Structure formats: C-alpha cells, structure tokens
Amino acid sequence: MKIVIIGAGAVGGVIAGYLSNLNYNIQLVCKRREILESIENNGLRIEGIKEHIISYPDTVIDISQVTDKPDIVFLATKANDVGEIAQNIVPFLRDDTAVVSLQNGICEELIADIVRPDRTVGCVVGWGATMLGPGRIEITSDGEFIIGELDGEVTHRLLIIKSMLEKIFKVKISNNIYGALFSKLIINSCITTLGAISGLYLGELLNLNIARTIFLHVLTEAVQLAKTNQIKLEKIGGKIDLYKFALTPRELNNNFSLSLLKKHLGIQLIGLKYRRLKSSSLQSLERGKPTEIDFLNGYIVNKAQQFNIPVPVNQKLVTMVKNIESGKIKIDRENLFQILK
C-alpha cells in the first residue's frame, strides 16, 4: 500500500518515523525545507518515553512530487492549513483513497466538504509529542488513537489503518467519532489554550487554582453546547467523563463543595500524567506563527452563536490569544487572572 503523510511536525513525524522503520511504503511531505534537509542528512529522530529511533523516510517538499496515487493519506498539518492542503491533494487521490484527519480541533467537516465524506476518516490523537528542533521529536505522554468513519460504520479500511497505527500506540475504533472529536476539542480548548496564554507546561499550569477554575468554566460552556447539539461526548481515554466535570449552578456561584474539590483534584491528576506536555499553540506562538484558536475555543464560540448560547470564557480566551498573536499583549501566567474578571 502507498501511504502519504503530509506534515512533519510532532504527530506526522512520529507516524512517519515508526512506519518508515517498519518498512511501510511511505512518503513524507514536508513543506519546511530546513526540516526536510535535516531528515535527509541526519534522519528523523524520535525520543522520549518510547523506544528511541532514527529513520530515513522518503521525503518530498510538495504533494505534487508524490509518486503514485496513495491508498491512505495521513493529514498531519496545522488546522489552519487544512482547507488549502485538502484542495491541493484532490487531484492526486484515487477514488477510494482514505484521508485521515489528525488535527487538533474538528477539521473533518471541512475536509469532507473538499475531498468527499466517503474518503474522510476521523482520528483523535490522544498522546503527546513536542518538536525539539528540525527533524527531532520528543514523545512526552502515552495515549491512544481513536479512528472512525463519519457515518459510524466499521469498515475494512478502518481495520487496515488500525493495524498500522497500533504499531505505534493503541488504537480504538469508534462508531461515534464526532463525539470523540468533540470531547478532545474540549480538553484541547482547556489545556492547549491556557498553556498558550500562560507559557506554562501542563503540570505547572494545572497546579494553579485559577487555571483549574478556568478549565472548568471552558468545559462547562462546551458541555452545554454539546447537549444542545445532541452530541454524545465520549469519555477521554475511556475514563474521563466530561459530563461529571461540568459545573453545577451552585459551583458556578463559587460555593465550595466536596464535589467541586473532587473536580479540582481530577484536573490536577490530568496535569500530573501529562506534566511534560507543552501546548502546541504555545509552540506556534514562540515560533511567531498563528495558533489554531479558531479551530479550538473559536469553534465553540462559532457553534454557540448559532444557537444563541453564551460562552463568555471561551470568547475571552479567543480574544486574548488573538491579542497575543498580534503583539498587543505578551505570554504571561498573569494573563490567567484576567479571564474570569
């Protein structure tokens, strides 16, 4: 089978590195020349909590250089680039090519509109990795892939994709991929965005009471949106039930309760497990690049506007990240104290 991986960042790089070492027929599309040249000269280096490897995948700078039409495309670019890249790959797809979306946020709808729903496969990436430099990636936390067809059917191609990806991490096939994607979107809208405005790694971030409080408000607004849209949220990692973390009216009024304490402790445990995770949005800001905020908290805000649902905390986070992107304010932990004012 011919496999094309578009994007040599943390997620795309890990997949390319391990599949290449396992002798899968892959080509890695890497638009940043410094990364491409580093991989060609020094190999794609993956380290961290899994086995350290160095691989030499076949790399090209543009999709037009891909040889043969692929059976599977792993689309591992930033969400901001998905629309343009999806348009560009259409001429190079076979009628039955599977296009697997690996972005933060929910991009499957956009991809399906461009490449067709029957070609589109949803995927949740539940593990963490960080780019240390061109062609060098650190896996920071364990986790799983969740894959699924948009219509919920369990197809033969899902089993093929599962057989590939489970050589890297565990893989779960879901018949409610949108519910799984929305759950991951909610978590990303909490930890990725808070990491971006504060500059903190996840462990330090979720040790702060103010960060956990914002986390709960972001989550509560998003859960209400999911209920209104009749989206059944899937448990994160098969364990974390987002419905149970949503704040009650009493808790929203800052009244102390044992249930609220348990929610804070649960969030601290998430921070402990993924303590070395560095926000992907923070990494983008540090490189002078735009974040994916429009596909995270921005997605929640846009959907909420359609149903006239107030999501003030998510809106404030979107505004603050935009202000950081434009240089109006700086990344600082003190930003956290401005959100709930």
Do the bridges between strand 53-55 and strand 72-75 make them parallel or antiparallel, or are there none, so unpaired?
unpaired
**What is the per-residue pLDDT for 141?**
86
Comparing CA positions, the residue from 231, 245, 232, 224 lying closest to residue 304 is: 224
Segment 46-91, tens digit of pLDDT: 999 998 999 999 999 999 999 899 999 999 999 999 999 999 999 9
Q: What is residue 118's predicted lDDT score, i.e. its pLDDT?
A: 97
pLDDT of res. 115:
97
- In angstroms, rounded to a whole number, what is the distance separating the alpha carbons of residues 99 and 111? 8
Query: Which pLDDT score is estimated for 157?
Result: 97
79 with 104: CB under 8 angstroms? yes
Q: Is it the case that residue 39 has pLDDT exceeding 80?
A: yes
**Per-residue pLDDT reduced to its tens digit, 258-275:** 899 999 999 998 888 778
Decide if pLDDT at 254 tops 80. no
pLDDT in tens, 222-243: 999 999 999 999 998 778 899 9
Number of neighbours of residue 173 by Cβ within 10 angstroms: 16
Q: Using one digit for the tens of pLDDT, what is the confidence trace for 105-163?
A: 899 999 999 999 999 999 999 998 888 999 999 998 899 999 999 999 999 999 999 99
Query: Mind listing the pLDDT tens digit for each residue in 201-212?
Result: 999 999 999 999
**pLDDT score at 239:** 84
Structure tokens at 293: 């905020």
Is the per-residue pLDDT at 217 higher than 90? yes
pLDDT value at residue 273: 78
Percent of the chain's residues with pLDDT above 70 = 100
Under DSSP, the state recorded for 253 is T
**Domains identified in the chain and CATH numbers:** 2-175 (3.40.50.720), 179-339 (1.10.1040.10)
pLDDT at res. 53:
96
